[in-house]
Structure formats: structure tokens, C-alpha cells
Amino acid sequence: MDDEPRDQNHTGAPHSGATDEELSWTAAALATAWVSPAAPLSKSRGWDLVGLQHMGSAQGEMYAWRRVLRWERQLVEALTAADVPSGDDGGEGASSRHRAAEARGAATSAMRDMLLAGITDGERTNQIWGNSMGRDPRDELRAFIASHGG
């Protein structure tokens, strides 16, 4: 893990010394917790996730939006399939909880990968436009984590 990129803007703020992987994982876990079969991802939260992917253009943002919606749909489908009524012996309930935990774990990993790519894309966008496009992508992840309870 020592060869993972560390934040160069270490300020002492929460998560300021975290690796890109740690920042992305924490943000992904928060986003995954928002999704349930009973409550769809709100548009504002969806756009928060799109913004963290730093696509750099309206066309890129629409591509990212479709990925976020696909991610949400797959998670909801997996959680719905896992929601099997428990049997009298409680075994099915434990199995259902296990399947739901697996689905959330897979969704968190998928979102982490999207957010890790967003760090790279954000750095590239800032280099192209001379940092005039926005903040450091790690700062944005930190702000996202802080504002959503991480």
C-alpha cells in the first residue's frame, strides 16, 4: 500500500493524508448507503457523484450520469433479489443479509473505481485548463465525505 498515491496537499483536515484509494472507498461507501429498493437515488445526489468523476464536458457528464444510474439500478436489483422473507428457523434471513452485504460490497467497489478514475480525470482537466476548472479532485472528495457524514 506504500506505493499508492498520497495526497500532496496534506493540511491536517480529516482524510487529508488518505490515499486516493482510501478517499474513494470512503466516498463510495457513503454513496452506496444512500441506495435502497424503497428509495431511489435523488437527482442532486446523483449529480454529486457525477461531479466527482470530472468528465470535463457536458457529453462526458451525460456518460457519467448513465454510469451512475446503471450502478444504482444494479445495486437496487441485487438488494431486491436479496430481500427474501426469512424462514421460521432464521436461516433465510441470515442468507438474505449476507447477499445484501455482498451486493453493497460490490457496489462500493464499483463506485470506488469510478471515483478513482475521477481523480485522474480531474487532474488531467486541471492540467489542460491551467487549474482554472476547479479544485483538486481530492479536495472535492474530502468535502463530499465531510458533508455526507464520513
pLDDT in tens, 5-57: 444 444 444 556 789 999 999 999 999 999 999 998 999 999 999 999 987 77
Strand-pair partners of 6: 19
Q: How confident is the model at residue 84 (pLDDT cuts 50, 70, 90)?
A: low
Q: Which residue has the higher pLDDT, 1 or 78?
A: 78
Write out the DSSP string of the chain.
-TTS-B-S---SSTTTT-BHHHHHHHHHHHHHHH-BTTBPPPHHHHHHHHHTT---SHHHHHHHHHHHHHHHHHHHHHHHHH-PPP-TTSHHHHHHHHHHHHHHHHHHHHHHHHHHHHHHHHHHHHHHTTT-S-S-HHHHHHHHHHHTT-
Output the CA–CA distances (angstroms, integers) from residue 8 to 12, 17, 51, 104, in the order listed. Answer: 12, 8, 21, 31
Instruction: Say if residue 115's pLDDT is above 60.
Output: yes
With a pLDDT cut of 70, the percent of the chain lying above it is: 80
Q: How far is CA 83 from the centre of its chain?
A: 23
> Can you read off the three cell numbers belonging to residue 50?
457525477
